[in-house]
C-alpha cells in the first residue's frame, strides 16, 4: 500500500474489507468502589465475577410501595470493592498496551457518575497508581532499549509522522536544548517525580515480552480536555496569567488525509521515560486544576483524554539506523479517557452557566449513548442509519474507533451508595447496551525490520564477526600479497653501526609513508563501504516496501478469493435452480404430450362415429326408397287385381243377363210361336253366349272383318264421347310433372290448362283432369289421369268429384323382372286397352296397340 509520504496515522481509515471482517464487542467492565465512610446502605451486590444485582434502597422502596424490581446486569468482568489497581490493569489495560506495541489502536474510557471512582481508576492515588501510570510504565519497560533518539520521529501538524536522519535529529536536539531556559529542576517537577515513584511499586512493573527488536520506537503524549464541547490543549505552553485569567484557546477537530479525526494544533510531547511522561501528565493536570479554579469550573464536568502515541520504524540490517523511509513508519495510539460524570442536570443543582455546562456534558454523553444505540441497531438489524458522531466533540473524536478498527474497552464505575441508585441504574443500562456494539478487530501489520533476518543470514553463512561490520579481514592470501606489494618497499634496516643515524630515520620515514598510504586506503575503503552500505539500506527499504506491497496484494487476493467463492456458491445455487426448472419443463412437456395423444384418439373416435352415422343415414335412405318401391308395387298389383275381378264380375253378370235374355226370348218365342206357329228362325238368330275364348276370337276376327262386335264392358265414364265430347275441361298439370317423351300423349281439346286449380277456371268448366306422375316399382314413371266432375256447391263455390283414373305407363320389353311382374303380353294389352287415355291421336297409335 502506497502511503502519502507520511507515517501511518493513528486512526486508520475504514479499510474496504469484505463482509467477513472479524469484529469484537466493546469490552465493558464494571468496577464497584467501596462505600464512603458516610454511606450506610449498599445497593449493589456482586453475584458473580460477571454479574451484579441492584437492590432498591429502602427509601425508594417505601415510595413505590415496595414494587421495585431487583435488576441484574452482566458484564465481561465485574471488579469488586477489593480489587486492586494492579489486578484491574492486568485484566483491562495490559492487552491494550500490548496492542499498542503491536501497532494496534486502543480506546479505554471510564464511565459513571461523579464520585464513582473514574479518576481513581484512571489516574489513581499515591501508592495506588491507576491505569494511566501503569500503562506508561509498561510501555517504557517494554520499548526502552529500542527507543529512537529524540527528534528522529517528528510529528507534522497534520496527524502524520515524519522521519529524520540522525544528523538532522542531532541538530534539532541541539537547537531545542539551546532554546530551553537553563533552569534547574523546579520543585514541582521534583514533586511530580516523587508522586509517580509513590504510585507504582517497583515489583509491580509490567513488561511486554513480544516487542519487535527490529524496530525503533518513540513515544509521544498529548493531553486534552473537552469542556462545554470545546477542546483545550492541556500541554499548551502558553503561560497562564493568574492576574488576568484568559479563557484558553479551544482547538478544532480536523480530518486528516486518511479521514482520521485529530485535534489540530495539539501539542504532542516526545517522552523517553515513564517519569518524563508522567511529568508531562502532571503538568497537564496542574494546568487543568488552575484553569478550573481560576475560571470557576467543575473538573467533574470535563472529559479528559490522555493519548499515548507510539511511532515505530524498522531498523536497517545493521541495527544501527532507522530505515529512512516514511512509508515504513507505523503509528499506533492508546487513548485513556476519563469521562465527565454521567449524572443528570437536576442532581448537580447547577445554575446559570453551570447549568449550560452540565447540559453540554450531558449532551455529549447523550450523543455517546445515541451513537452506541444506532451502531448497535445497524449491526444487529442490518440497517444503515447515520451515526450522529458529529453531534459532540467526544464522539466525533473517537468516530474512527467505531467506524474503522481498534479495541474499545469501557470501565463502568459505580458507587454502591443509595443516593446514586437511580443514576447507577441508567449507567447500567447504557453499559449493557454498549456491550452489544461491535468494533472491527485491528489486523496485524508486521513491520519489516531486517536486522535480525540479516544477522541470521550472516550467521548461516558462518561469518565469525557478524554484527561488527567495520572489522573486515582479508581472507584471500593473493589479495594480501598484492596489497603488500603495492606499498613502497622498506629500506634495509640493519643497524651495524651505533653511530648510524640514517637507517632509523629512513625506516621511520618509510614506515610513516606506509602508514599514510594505509590510512588513505582505509579511508577509501570506508568510503566505499559506506556507499555500499547506503546502497544496501536503500535496497533493503525497497525490499521492505515490496514486502508491504506483497502483503497488501495478498490480502487483496484473499478478498478476491472470497468474492470468487461467494460467486461460485451463487452460480451453484442458480445451476440447481435451473435444473429444477428444466425438470419441471420436462414434466410439463410429458403432460402436454399425453393430452395431445388423448386429443388425437378422441378426434379419431369422432371421425369413425361420423362415418358410421353417414353410413347408417345412407342405409336408411336406401331402405326408404326400397319400401316406397314395394308399396307402389303392391298398390299396382292390387289395383290390377281389382280391375280383373270387376271385369270378371261384369262378364259373369252379362252372362247371367244373357241367359236371362235368352230365357226371356225363348219364352217370347214360345209365346209368339203359339201365336204364329214358326219358331225355327229364332234358334238360328239366337246370339252366342259370351265366353272369354269367344271374346278372343271375336277380337281377332273383328280386325279381319268388321262384323258387329259384342258390347265391350266399358264403364260409361270411360267412354270416349265423355272425354272428347263437348264438355269443357280443366287440365291440371302440376309444375313438378316431367315432360315424357312418350308416343301417346293425352290431349284434351277445349281445355283450360292450369298448374294449380283455381276457382275461376273451375267455374268455367264441367270436367276436371289431374295429371299425376309417380315412380313405379320397376323404376319407370307412371302418369295417372284422374278425372272428375265439377259441381256447383250450394255456397256458390265449385267442388270436384273424382270419377275415373286412367294410367299411362312405359315399359322396357327386355326387362325380365317387369315381365315377371306384369304377367303375359296379353294381360299387358288388356291393361293398355283398359287404361286408354281420354283422347288419343288416331293414326300410328291404334295399329301399334291393337295389332296382335
Ligand atoms: P470520579 O472521578 O468518578 O468523580 P473519583 O475517582 O474522584 O470519582 O473518586 C472519588 C473518591 O473515591 C476519591 O477520593 C477516591 O479516592 C475514592 N475512590 C474511588 N474509587 C475507589 C476505590 N476503588 N477504592 C478506594 N477508593 C476509591
Ligand atoms: Mg473524576
CA of 122 to the centre of ligand 1 (A): 10
Counting Cβ atoms within 10 Å, is residue 129 exposed (0-12), middle (13-18) or buried (19+)?
buried
Residue nearest to atom 20 of ligand 1 (CA): 117
Averaged pLDDT for residues 620-640: 94
The predicted structure's pLDDT at residue 177: 83
pLDDT of residue 722: 47
Does pLDDT of 447 surpass 60?
A: no
Given the C-alpha cell 464513582, which residue does it identify? 116
* pLDDT band for position 702 (cuts 50, 70, 90): very low
Pocket test for ligand 1, best of 78, 112, 115 (most atoms within 8 A of CB): 115
Confidence of residue 310 (pLDDT cuts 50, 70, 90): very high
Residue 34 Cβ inside 6 Å of ligand 1? The answer reads yes
Q: What is the mean pLDDT of residues 824-830?
A: 40
- Among candidate residues 94, 41, 12, the one with its CA nearest the CA of residue 445: 12
What's the 106 CA to ligand 1 centre distance in angstroms? 24
Whether 120 is in the pocket of ligand 1, judged by its Cβ within 6 Å, is: yes
**Where residue 327 falls among pLDDT bands split at 50, 70, 90?**
confident
Atom 18 of ligand 1 has which residue's CA nearest to it?
A: 117
Among 38-42, 56-60, 398-402, 410-414, the range of highest mean pLDDT:
410-414
Contacts of 14 (CB under 8 A, 6+ apart): 259, 400, 403, 404, 405, 440
For residue 729, count other CB atoms closer than 10 A to its CB: 24
- The answer, yes or no, to whether residue 686 has pLDDT greater than 70, is no
435 pLDDT above the threshold of 60: yes
What does the pLDDT average to over 813-830? 48
Distance between Cα 341 and ligand 1 center (Å): 12
Reported confidence tier of residue 674, pLDDT bands at 50, 70, 90: confident
Of 92, 112, 118, 120, which is best to mutate to test ligand 1, by the most ligand atoms within 8 angstroms of its C-beta?
A: 120
Task: Tell whether ligand 1 has an atom less than 6 A from the beta carbon of residue 342.
Answer: no
Query: Is there an atom of ligand 1 within 6 Å of 303 CB?
Result: no
Residue 799 above 80 pLDDT?
yes
Residue whose Cα lies nearest atom 22 of ligand 1: it is 33
pLDDT digits (tens, 9 = 90+) for 145-181: 899 999 999 998 888 899 988 888 888 888 888 877 6
Instruction: Report the C-alpha gap between 612 and 625 in whole angstroms.
Output: 20
Phi first, then psi, for residue 695 (nearest 5°) are -60, -40
d(CA 754, CA 798): 16
pLDDT value, residue 109: 95
Q: Is the pLDDT of residue 758 over 70?
A: yes
pLDDT score at 781: 80
Question: Is pLDDT above 90 for 464?
Answer: no
Q: Which helix (H) or strand (E) holds 227?
A: strand 215-227
Dihedral through CA 325, CA 327, CA 328, CA 334, nearest 10? 130
**Contacts for 236-245: CB closer than 8 Å, 24+ residues apart:** 236/267, 236/287, 237/267, 240/287, 240/290, 240/291, 240/294, 242/290, 242/294, 245/294, 245/295
- Specify the DSSP element, H or E, that contains 535: helix 503-676
Q: In this predicted structure, what is the pLDDT of residue 736? A: 81
pLDDT score, position 305? 96
Q: For ligand 1, atom 23, name the residue with the nearest CA.
A: 33
Q: How far apart are the first and last CA of the chain?
A: 144
- Which residue from 735, 654, 730 is spatially nearest to 691, judged by alpha carbons? 654
Q: How many Å lie between the centroid of ligand 1 and the Cα of residue 139? A: 25
What digits encode the pLDDT tens for the residues 554-594?
Answer: 999 999 999 999 999 999 999 999 999 999 999 999 999 99
* Ligand 1 pocket, residue 301 CB under 6 Å: no
Look over the chain and give the mean of its residue pLDDT values, rounded to a whole number.
80
228-237, 268-277, 809-818: segment of lowest average pLDDT: 809-818
Assign 424 a pLDDT band (cuts: 50, 70, 90).
very high
284 pocket-lining for ligand 1 (C-beta < 6 Å): no
Centre of ligand 2 from the C-alpha of residue 560, in Å: 49
Beta strands 51-54; 71-74: pairing state: antiparallel
Cell digits for 162? Answer: 515524519
Separation between Cα atoms, residue 562 and residue 509, nearest integer Å: 78
Whether 138 has a pLDDT exceeding 50, the answer reads yes
Q: Do 83 and 383 form a contact (C-beta atoms < 8 A)? A: no
For 806, phi then psi, to 5°, come to: -115, 140
Nearest one of 24, 29, 25 to 411, comparing CA atoms: 29
pLDDT at 538 over 60: yes
Average pLDDT over residues 132-145: 94
Q: How confident is the model at residue 835 (pLDDT cuts 50, 70, 90)?
A: very low
User: Residue 386: which pLDDT band, with cuts at 50, 70 and 90?
Assistant: very high
Confidence of residue 677 (pLDDT cuts 50, 70, 90): low
Span 71-115, pLDDT tens digits:
899 999 999 999 999 999 999 999 999 999 999 999 999 999 999
pLDDT score recorded for residue 261: 92
Contact yes or no for 88/79 (Cβ under 8 A): yes
The number of residues making up the chain comes to 852
- Better pLDDT: 442 or 703: 442
From the list 140, 34, 135, the residue with the least C-alpha distance to 94 is 135
- Cβ of residue 300 lying under 6 Å from some atom of ligand 1: yes
C-beta of 59 in contact with ligand 1 (< 6 A)? no
Average pLDDT (745-759) is: 84
Query: Does position 530 have pLDDT exceeding 80, yes or no?
Result: yes
Instruction: For 726-742, write each residue's pLDDT tens digit.
Output: 688 899 988 888 877 77
pTM value? 0.56
Ranges 576-585, 790-799, 818-827, most confident: 576-585
Q: Pick the more confident residue, 406 or 707.
A: 406
- What pLDDT score does 212 carry? 87
So what's the pLDDT on residue 62?
64
Question: Is the per-residue pLDDT at 485 higher than 90?
Answer: no
Given pLDDT bands bounded at 50, 70 and 90, which one contains residue 219?
very high
| Least confident stretch, 242-246, 314-318, 455-459, 515-519 | 455-459
Contact between 262 and 164 (Cβ < 8 Å): no
Is the pLDDT at 427 greater than 90, yes or no?
yes
**Mean pLDDT throughout 698-725?**
46
For residue 819, pLDDT beyond 50: no
Cα 121 to averaged position of ligand 1 atoms, centre (Å): 7
Amino acid at each position: 500500500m502506497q502511503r502519502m509520504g507520511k507515517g501511518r496515522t493513528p486512526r486508520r481509515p475504514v479499510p474496504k474489507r469484505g463482509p467477513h471482517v472479524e469484529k469484537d464487542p466493546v469490552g465493558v467492565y464494571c468496577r464497584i468502589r467501596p462505600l464512603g465512610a458516610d454511606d450506610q446502605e449498599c445497593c449493589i451486590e456482586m453475584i458473580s465475577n460477571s454479574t451484579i444485582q441492584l437492590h432498591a434502597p429502602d427509601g425508594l422502596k417505601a415510595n413505590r410501595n415496595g414494587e421495585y424490581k431487583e435488576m441484574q446486569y452482566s458484564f465481561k468482568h465485574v471488579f469488586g470493592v477489593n480489587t486492586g489497581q494492579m489486578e484491574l490493569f492486568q485484566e483491562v489495560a495490559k492487552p491494550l498496551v500490548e496492542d499498542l506495541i503491536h501497532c494496534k489502536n486502543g480506546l479505554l474510557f471510564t464511565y459513571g457518575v461523579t464520585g464513582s471512582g473514574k479518576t481513581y481508576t484512571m489516574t489513581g492515588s499515591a501508592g495506588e497508581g491507576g491505569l494511566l501510570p501503569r500503562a506508561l510504565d509498561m510501555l517504557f519497560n517494554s520499548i526502552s532499549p529500542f527507543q529512537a533518539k529524540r527528534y528522529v520521529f517528528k510529528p507534522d501538524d497534520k496527524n502524520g509522522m515524519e522521519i529524520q536522519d540522525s544528523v538532522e535529529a542531532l541538530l534539532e536536539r541541539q537547537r531545542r536544548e539551546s532554546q530551553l531556559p537553563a533552569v534547574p529542576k523546579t520543585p514541582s517537577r521534583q514533586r511530580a517525580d516523587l508522586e509517580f515513584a509513590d504510585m507504582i511499586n517497583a515489583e509491580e512493573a509490567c513488561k511486554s515480552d513480544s516487542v519487535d527488536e527490529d524496530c525503533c520506537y518513540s513515544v509521544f503524549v498529548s493531553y486534552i480536555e473537552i469542556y462545554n464541547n470545546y477542546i483545550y490543549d492541556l500541554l499548551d505552553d502558553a503561560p497562564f496569567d493568574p492576574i488576568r485569567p484568559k479563557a484558553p484557546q479551544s482547538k478544532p477537530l480536523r480530518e486528516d488525509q486518511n479521514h482520521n479525526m485529530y485535534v489540530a494544533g495539539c501539542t504532542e510531547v516526545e517522552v523517553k521515560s515513564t517519569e518524563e511522561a508522567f511529568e508531562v501528565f502532571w503538568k497537564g493536570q496542574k494546568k487543568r486544576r488552575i484553569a478550573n479554579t481560576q475560571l470557576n469550573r467543575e473538573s467533574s464536568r470535563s472529559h479528559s483524554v490522555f493519548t499515548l502515541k507510539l511511532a515505530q520504524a524498522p531498523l536497517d540490517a545493521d541495527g544501527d539506523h532507522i530505515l529512512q523511509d516514511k512509508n515504513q513508519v507505523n503509528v499506533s495510539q492508546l487513548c485513556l479517557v476519563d469521562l465527565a460524570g454521567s449524572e443528570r442536570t437536576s442532581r448537580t443543582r447547577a445554575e446559570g452557566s453551570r447549568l449550560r455546562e452540565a447540559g453540554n456534558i450531558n449532551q455529549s454523553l447523550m450523543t455517546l449513548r445515541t451513537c452506541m444505540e444506532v451502531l448497535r441497531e445497524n449491526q444487529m438489524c442490518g440497517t444503515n442509519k447515520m451515526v450522529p458522531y458529529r453531534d459532540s466533540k467526544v464522539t466525533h473524536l473517537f468516530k474512527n474507533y467505531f467506524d474503522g478498527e481498534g479495541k474499545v474497552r469501557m470501565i463502568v464505575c459505580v458507587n454502591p451508595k443509595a443516593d446514586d441508585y437511580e443514576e447507577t441504574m441508567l449507567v447500567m443500562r447504557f453499559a449493557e447496551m454498549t456491550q452489544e456494539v461491535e468494533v472491527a478487530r485491528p489486523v496485524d501489520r508486521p513491520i519489516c525490520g531486517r536486522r535480525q533476518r540479516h544477522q541470521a543470514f550472516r550467521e548461516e553463512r558462518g561469518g565469525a564477526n557478524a554484527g561488527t561490520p567495520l572489522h573486515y579481514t582479508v581472507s584471500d592470501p593473493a589479495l594480501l600479497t598484492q596489497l603488500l606489494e603495492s606499498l613502497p618497499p622498506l629500506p634495509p634496516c640493519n643497524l651495524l653501526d651505533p653511530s648510524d643515524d640514517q637507517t632509523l630515520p629512513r625506516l621511520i620515514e618509510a614506515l610513516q609513508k606506509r602508514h599514510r598510504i594505509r590510512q588513505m586506503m582505509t579511508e577509501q575503503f570506508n568510503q566505499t563501504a559506506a556507499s555500499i552500505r547506503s546502497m544496501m539500506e536503500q535496497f533493503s527499504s525497497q525490499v521492505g516496501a515490496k514486502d508491504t506491497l506483497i502483503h497488501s496484494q495478498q490480502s487483496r487476493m484473499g478478498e478476491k478469493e472470497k468474492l470468487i467463492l461467494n460467486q461460485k456458491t451463487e452460480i451453484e445455487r442458480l445451476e440447481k435452480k435451473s435444473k429444477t426448472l428444466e425438470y419441471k419443463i420436462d414434466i410439463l412437456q410429458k403432460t402436454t404430450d399425453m393430452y395431445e395423444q388423448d386429443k388425437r384418439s378422441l378426434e379419431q373416435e369422432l371421425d369413425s362415429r361420423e362415418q358410421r352415422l353417414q353410413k347408417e343415414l345412407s342405409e336408411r335412405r336406401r331402405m326408404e326408397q326400397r319400401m316406397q318401391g314395394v308399396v307402389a308395387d303392391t298398390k299396382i298389383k292390387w289395383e290390377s287385381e281389382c280391375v280383373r275381378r270387376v271385369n270378371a264380375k261384369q262378364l259373369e253378370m252379362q252372362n247371367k243377363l244373357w241367359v236371362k235374355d235368352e230365357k226371356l226370348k225363348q219364352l217370347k218365342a214360345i209365346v209368339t210361336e203359339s201365336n204364329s206357329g214358326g219358331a225355327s228362325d229364332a234358334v238360328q238368330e239366337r246370339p252366342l253366349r259370351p265366353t272369354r275364348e269367344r271374346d278372343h276370337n271375336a277380337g281377332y276376327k273383328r280386325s279381319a272383318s268388321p262384323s258387329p262386335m259384342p258390347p265391350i264392358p266399358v264403364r260409361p265414364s270411360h267412354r270416349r264421347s265423355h272425354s272428347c265430347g263437348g264438355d269443357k275441361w280443366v287440365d291440371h298439370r302440376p309444375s313438378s310433372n316431367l315432360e315424357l317423351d312418350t308416343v301417346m300423349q293425352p290431349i284434351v281439346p277445349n281445355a283450360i290448362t292450369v298448374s294449380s286449380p283455381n276457382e275461376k277456371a273451375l267455374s268455367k268448366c264441367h270436367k276436371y283432369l289431374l295429371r299425376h306422375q309417380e315412380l313405379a316399382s320397376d323404376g319407370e314413371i307412371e302418369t295417372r289421369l284422374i278425372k272428375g266432375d265439377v259441381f256447383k256447391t250450394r255456397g256458390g263455390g265449385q267442388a270436384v268429384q273424382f270419377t275415373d283414373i286412367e294410367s299411362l305407363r312405359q315399359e322396357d320389353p327386355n326387362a325380365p323382372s317387369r315381365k315377371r311382374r306384369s304377367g303375359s303380353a296379353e294381360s299387358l294389352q288388356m291393361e293398355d286397352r283398359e287404361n286408354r287415355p281420354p283422347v288419343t291421336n288416331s293414326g300410328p297409335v291404334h295399329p301399334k296397340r291393337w295389332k296382335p
